[in-house]
């Protein structure tokens, strides 16, 4: 058989195969493809795990099949001939947190058949201890009506209106629902109510329960509160509390501000608790900003702005803390450097701080002279410094004409603290006419007394006898903060300040 004959036979066979599912239309015109295909199951519904489903396909002609979304659904084989075929449908694990849907499309002749594919996400149930509270939540927020309050459904809750539901306990408020802004739990049987983590709460109605104490000390943004109808004796509030117009309490209850631990022999003379949020920025009666371009000091990379520039906010007072942020916008990183308008000579200076994360960050809590007389001659007191490239270490230093880092004679001390970027710690300076000491959580970190060094006490070793201002800033990069480079993926980075307090010995 020669090549020409073989080619003719192959072409004839192909034409015969095509004609098996074709017939002329009634007018004798071009043929129309026909055929029948059935599938079982007619739809596929699965859970979140990776799974393989067998699709039984029966046809009386050639066919092809594909997934409309092959990123998570694939099929094998992708086609066949008349007869029965088992098609393997592989479905990947769904870790998206969302229900996802697609379809398998079977094409045969000029027709096609669609097989819907539906996959649930991994449902993680929220455990609710009180049966009445659980019943309320399921009725209000079980969106898919599966009898389970999932973590996804709980995360979508912004308000709880659970009045008169017979609830005896709501411990999940402070964990699962800590970001809600509206809470009505009035007319229940509550004897305790933990709201300590609910810093976003703006409306609270806990009236007509059995509460004897109520702690709202962390809820500085609370605008409306009704606590009447409870046998309350104490409502614990924030420092420098002024009762908002929207607050109601029983006559039996008193507002109790937190006590402030005062060092022995000192008295409180100045404080900033960052509980006033009217403008969202630091109080300009107490603070002023320094503004500067990159490279101003220490070859730092940030641009200091006065708290806000358009949509960029680098100094934000909210939820009871000052947040100094380093924010990248275009080719620049913006941040803030704020200073007290008041100054002091000697005293105990204290701040509660949580430090930012990321290679390139350089936060500080420090002091400089009120009247500039040159650096380092005028003196500098670094109560706390931290660089993100050495994440678990904080340090204290002094700088003066005799002792400073450029000539490698600065006096400094450092300590490893694993949680400085995850938790608040208290950093303090004790500054007297004789010495400077710094502390972390009450433990001595650094001690400087010029009398302990050969150069003794003079204007070059002790310029610390005049008024100094307090400073808070977040630098980016620079000689120390950027000594191992910077990682812009950590931006925005946030330096959080809970309070700043100044104590002095009474005259």
Strand partners, 475: 362
Six token digits for residue 24: 């002329």
Concerning whether 300 is annotated as a catalytic residue, the answer is: no
State the catalytic residue, choosing from 172, 350, 385, 496: 385
Enter the tokens of residue 74: 């694939």
| Strands (DSSP E) found in 286-424 | 287-289, 303-304, 308-309, 312-313, 315-318, 321-329, 332-335, 337-340, 347-354, 361-369, 380-385, 393-399, 411-416
Which residue matches tokens 């009505």? 184
Our answer to whether residue 385 is catalytic in this structure is: yes
Residue with tokens 């400077």: 436
**Phi, psi dihedrals of residue 70, rounded to the nearest 5°:** -85, 10
Contact 90, 73 (CB under 8 A): yes
Catalytic residue among 380, 423, 443, 507: 380
Question: Using CA atoms, how far apart are residues 143 and 262, in angstroms rounded to an integer?
Answer: 52
Q: In terms of DSSP H, where are the helices of 274-425?
A: none
Ramachandran angles phi, psi of 134, nearest 5°? -60, -40
In contact, 507 and 266? CB cutoff 8 Å? no
CB 201 within 8 A of CB 222: yes
Q: What are phi and psi of 233, to 5 degrees?
A: -115, -30
Q: What is the DSSP string of 108-149?
A: ETTEEEEEEEEE-----BPP-SSHHHHHHHHHHH-TT-SS--
Nearest to 410 by CA among 421, 420, 398: 398
Distance CA 462, CA 449 (A): 9
Quote the CA–CA distance of 366 and 346 in Å, as a whole number. 14
Compute the radius of gyration of the chain from its Cα atoms: 35
SS3 198: coil
Q: Which of 196, 243, 237, 251 is nearest to 224 (CA)?
A: 243
Is 153 in a helix, a strand, or coil? helix
| Cα–Cα dist 245/248, whole Å | 8
Neighbours of 442 (CB within 10 A): 9
**Could you tell me which of 366, 433, 440 has the C-alpha nearest to residue 398?**
366
Q: Which residues are catalytic?
A: 380, 385
């Amino acid at each position: 058989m020669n090549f020409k004959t073989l080619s003719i036979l192959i072409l004839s066979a192909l034409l015969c195969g095509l004609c098996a599912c074709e017939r002329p239309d009634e007018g004798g015109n071009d043929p129309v493809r026909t055929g029948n295909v059935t599938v079982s199951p007619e739809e596929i519904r699965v859970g979140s795990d990776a799974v393989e489903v067998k699709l039984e396909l029966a046809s009386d002609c050639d066919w092809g099949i594909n997934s409309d979304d092959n990123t998570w659904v694939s099929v094998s084989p992708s086609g066949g001939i008349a007869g029965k075929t088992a098609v393997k449908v592989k479905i990947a694990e769904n870790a998206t947190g969302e229900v996802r849907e697609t379809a398998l499309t079977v094409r045969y002749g000029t027709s096609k058949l669609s097989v819907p594919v539906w996959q649930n996400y991994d449902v993680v149930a929220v455990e609710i201890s009180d049966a009445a509270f659980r019943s309320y939540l399921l009725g209000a927020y079980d969106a898919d009506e599966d009898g389970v309050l999932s973590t996804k459904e709980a995360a979508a809750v912004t308000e709880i209106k659970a009045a008169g539901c017979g609830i005896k306990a709501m411990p999940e408020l402070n964990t699962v629902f800590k970001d809600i802004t509206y809470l009505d739990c009035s007319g229940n049987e509550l004897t305790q109510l933990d709201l300590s983590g609910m810093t976003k709460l703006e409306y609270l109605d806990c009236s007509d329960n059995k509460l004897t104490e109520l702690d709202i000390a962390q809820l500085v943004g609370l605008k409306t509160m009704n606590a009447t109808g409870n046998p309350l004796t104490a409502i614990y509030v924030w420092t420098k509390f002024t009762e908002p117009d929207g607050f109601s309490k029983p006559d039996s209850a008193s507002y109790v501000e937190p006590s402030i631990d005062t060092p022995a022999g000192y008295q409180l003379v100045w404080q900033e608790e960052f509980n006033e949020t009217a403008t969202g920025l630091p109080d300009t009666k107490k603070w002023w900003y320094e503004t500067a371009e990159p490279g101003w000091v220490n070859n730092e990379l940030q641009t200091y702005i006065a708290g806000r520039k358009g949509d960029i906010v680098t100094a934000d007072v909210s939820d009871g803390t000052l947040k100094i942020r380093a924010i990248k916008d275009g080719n620049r990183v913006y941040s803030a450097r704020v200073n007290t308008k008041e100054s002091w000579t000697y005293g105990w200076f204290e701040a509660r701080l949580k430090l930012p994360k990321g290679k390139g960050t350089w936060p500080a809590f420090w002091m400089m002279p009120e009247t500039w007389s040159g650096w380092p001659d005028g003196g500098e007191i670094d109560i706390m410094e931290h660089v993100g490239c050495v994440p678990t270490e904080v340090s204290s230093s002094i700088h003066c004409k005799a002792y400073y880092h450029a000539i490698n004679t600065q006096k400094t001390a450092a300590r490893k603290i694993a949680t400085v970027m995850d938790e608040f710690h208290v950093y303090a300076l004790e500054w007297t006419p004789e010495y400077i000491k710094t502390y972390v959580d009450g433990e001595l970190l650094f001690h400087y007394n010029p009398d302990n060094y050969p150069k003794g006490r003079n204007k070059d070793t002790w310029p610390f006898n005049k008024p100094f201002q307090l400073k808070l800033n977040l630098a980016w990069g620079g000689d120390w903060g950027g000594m191992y480079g910077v990682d812009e993926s950590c931006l925005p980075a946030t330096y959080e300040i809970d309070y700043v307090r100044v104590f002095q010995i009474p005259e």
